[in-house]
Amino acid sequence: MYTGKLLRGHERDPLAQPPLRWRRPSPRPLPLVSTLHPRLALLAALMANSLACYDGKAAPPDRAADRATMVVQQVEARGVTDRRVLAAMRKVPRHLFVPPAVQDRAYGDHPLPIGEDQTISQPYVVAYMTEALRLKPHHRALEIGTGSGYQAAVLGELVKEVYTIEIVPSLGRRAAAVLKALGYRNVQVRIGDGYQGWARAAPFDAVMLTAAPPSIPAPLLAQLRVGGVLVAPLGPADSQVLVRMTRHPTGFRTERLLDVRFVPMTGRARERPTQHPGP
């Protein structure tokens, strides 16, 4: 998850439900929440949290205008041109993926804290990294570092299947709940160390890391399909670089994209450097 400024450089309706069937009235009134579909109840709670930070001044929960402005001023203005990526950024409700206390800043040009010393990357970084993966609708993607779940949702708009792993249980559970409430059935969330990837679902057309390891874990490279692309921040906090690695039949081509600053990848990645040193 990105923690600072760059140093250089099929609509889903979450409220859609099956047709209602007539039921005999209950002899006693039931609390409203008990009559809601579980997914709808969760989404209603998210919407309530979304409005709570406005001190009673209710803003439109969808905030489509904020997203449109964000895309024009922060994403397109900096050179992201992939139309599918831009459409996904306009569609995904970023404010529902962050804590209520910071939802009023969800569409600002900066990262935001999401708890557990983790962050959600600023919108431009999400768009830039997504575009760098060169995604196609039939692709299958692996994300290491679910965080808030926002990046997984953006990927979910663009590819057939998304597999995402989060090492912090509380973040993983919340991200899974939000993604489910918003209808992202093509996104699977696992809680655990992403170092070993998701071997059962491999190979992947795209792999994204949203935390920086000292070197790229070898299992993630092994799970990348020939022709596939991996994008990741790499290196120590004071000298990280965003890299893109493309797998060819004879090896990997590595490109340096941007100088960045992300939170470090934790777990096994911090215990022992892996075989690939990066660029």
Per annotation, catalytic residue among 26, 34, 121, 215: 121
Nearest to 191 by CA among 220, 161, 167, 175: 167
Nearest to 136 by CA among 69, 85, 177: 85
Q: How many CB atoms lie within 10 A of CB 252?
A: 13
Does the annotation mark 121 as catalytic?
Answer: yes
For residue 248, count CB atoms less than 10 angstroms from its CB and return exposed for 0-12, middle for 13-18, buried for 19 or more.
Answer: exposed
Q: Which residues are catalytic?
A: 121
